[in-house]
Each structure stands twice: as C-alpha cells, then as structure tokens.
Amino acid sequence: MLKGVFDQLSELGNLVPRYTGPRCLLERHTVGGCDACHSACPHEAIETPPGSYGVRVDPQKCTGCGLCVQACPTGALEYDLMTPLQSVHDQREQPGNPPPVSPEATLTCVPSGAGGPSLPCLGRVTPALVAAAGAWDVPLTLIHGDCAACPVGRADVPERLGAVVEQAQTLRAATGRPVRVTVRAAVPEDQGRALKVSRRGAFTSLLRAGGRQLSQNLPERPLPFVDWSDPPQRTPQEWTWRRKALKPVPPAGVGVAWPAPLVDEKCIDCPVCANVCPTEAITRELRPEGGVRLLLNLGACTGCMACLHSCPPGAIHEQKEWLLAAFDVQILLRESDHTM
C-alpha cells in the first residue's frame, strides 16, 4: 500500500513548495515572528537555520502534502494553483457539452485510492480554490483517505479542510452564493470514478507524461521565482484568486470579508508597518514638501496583521470588511506633515 503511494508521488516531480523570502514574516523581522509552517508540517521538513532568518524546506523530508502552504498567512510558501483550478473548472457542466459522469467536481488525495483528479494530499486545498468553485457554481467534493494512518499528510487534515471551507464561505458571503462543498472519506465505490478533464487539459497531461497513459494525478507545474521588482508578482496567487472568486459581484453596500489594517492618530509616522508588510501592500511615500503618506493596496493585503503586531505605538487596528470599490483604489491610511 505505502509503496504504491510513494511510487505515485515520485511521478509528480518536485514536491517542495516555492519559497519567496520577502513574503516571510521571519525575513521581514515582524514582531513575534511566525511558526505557522513549522507547526503545520507533519514531517519536520521545515527548518529555520541557526543564525539566519526565513525558512528552508528539506526536500528529503518533504512529502508535498501542502499543509505548510495552507497554513502560511502570507504566501511565502506556495504551490501552483492554476492546475487544480483548471481541473475544477473543467469538471463543471457547460452548455453544449455532454454532462460529466457525476454532477460535481471532485478532488481526491493519492493515498485515498479514489479515482478522479488527485493531489498528493488535500492539505493543498486552499480557500481560493474552494471559493473559485463557488464562483463557477460547481459543487465540489473533497475525498480523503485514512488520514490517521497516512504517510503523506497528518491525522487532522479533515479538520483543517473544514477551516479552509469556512474561510471560503466567509469570503463568498458577500456574493450571496455559498460554496456547495462536501468533505468526506473515500468509499470503495470511489475507485471507479473517471478522470474528467478538458481536451486541452488531457493533451497537456499527455505531453507531460511523454505519451504514456493519462494519469489521474494532477501534474505539477513548477513556479518560477518571483520578480520582486514587478509589483503585481508580490501578491501571491492565493490572494489574487480570492479576489477573482468574488463572483457574482457583491451588491453595492455589502461588505467583503477581507481583513486589513487601518491607522489611527496614535501613529508616529515611522516606517515599521511598511517595512514588515510581506507583500508591500502598505507603501510609505515621502512628500517633496515634507511629510509622509501611508497607502494600502487592499487586494495585495493577505490579512496577516504583521503591521498591527509590530506597530510601536499600537496605532493600527484591523478592519474585517471592506466595500468592493476599495479594491480598485489606493487607500490613504494616513497623511501627515512630518516624518520620523
């Protein structure tokens, strides 16, 4: 059983997630730091080298379960989202196309033995992926194996999936259309599930497999290094797709759940909040005539609240909901006539 699991995983390519140092709260020297990835990893594959900042993933220990990515509050660790997103999108019923084998999209884990599109572990499922299924109005079923005995993930994967679904539902509440999602254990009947992909997806998978029989494992697509000089690349795929998943468009006046900072009059105009921001969603502009402006790019904010925890005078507090129009402008957090 275990040999079969690891044989399948070995065909998926590089299982180690991409690490983007500038997004890591340890590299940003945020007050309190962060150990979310280390705490989530079931195999002690996440290391913080002595005398340094940031994290390192040990490729010899990493199984590609994705739990560190799921737990990371800033997108410093991530896998490509496009392949599972495409899989869910392609499984929906579309006008003019024959209906799929079953009325819902499915994602399974390799150890479950279930048929259909599979990931190494459902620890890779994130709120953006679930929310996108809601945007496309496709029911999503997440099928896991015996997590307590799994060599890839950990026993609490179903509970962690529940928290992911809750985050997605909170985000989609503004649209008035919740996600139709089911999380359940695999049953024997699931072994006969067919793989449902588009012609384009099947062709791509065949190319990746070198002409071999189409695999049900969703192919890995390595992520290139982030070009930090290009501001749009500073925003992780996860939060870009959370924003795109706000379909149908929320009605005017309805708040979107998107935790982000506000600044009050206790601000001393120091640069700490901009310095610790992992995506540089907060920018600090020095005015030629003197003074400073703090601006927020809401769509780039991951809601990690490193700015709040690091602010020396405690001038930052969290606003949990924003109107949709706030995503399309630079939000002025503070403007003053002097600088520190």
Q: What is the pLDDT of residues 256-305, one digit of tens each?
A: 999 999 999 999 999 999 999 999 999 999 988 888 999 999 999 999 99
At 80, list the tokens: 């490509």
Question: Per-residue b/e over 250-261, b at no fewer than 16 CB within 10 Å?
Answer: beeeeebbbebb
**Closest by alpha carbon to 74, among 306, 299, 246?**
306
Q: Minimum mean pLDDT among 130-134, 191-195, 300-304: which range?
A: 191-195
Q: How far apart are CA 43 and CA 320, in angstroms?
A: 34
Asked if 145 contacts 113 with a C-beta cutoff of 8 angstroms, the reply is yes
Residue, of 17 and 207, whose pLDDT is higher: 17
Strands 256-263 and 181-185 turn out to be unpaired
What mean pLDDT comes out for the span 309-337? Answer: 96
- pLDDT at position 236: 97
Question: Per-residue b/e over 204-229, b at no fewer than 16 CB within 10 Å?
Answer: bbeebeeeeeebbbbbbeebeebeee
**Closest by alpha carbon to 73, among 167, 175, 172?**
167
Q: How far apart are CA 1 and CA 7, in angstroms?
A: 10
Asked if pLDDT for residue 174 goes beyond 80, the answer is yes
β-bridge mates for residue 47, sequence order: 56
- pLDDT at position 94: 55
Q: What is the pLDDT of residues 74-124, one digit of tens each?
A: 999 999 999 999 999 988 765 555 554 457 899 999 999 999 999 999 999
At 65, list the tokens: 């379960």
For residue 25, the tally of other CB atoms under 10 A from its CB is 26
Q: What is the mean pLDDT of the chain?
A: 88
At 310, list the tokens: 């690091």
pLDDT level of residue 193 (50, 70, 90 thresholds): confident
- The C-alpha R_g of the chain, in whole angstroms, comes to 21
Asked if pLDDT for residue 212 goes beyond 50, the answer is no
For residue 76, which amino acid is it?
Answer: A
Q: Is the pTM of this model over 0.75?
A: yes
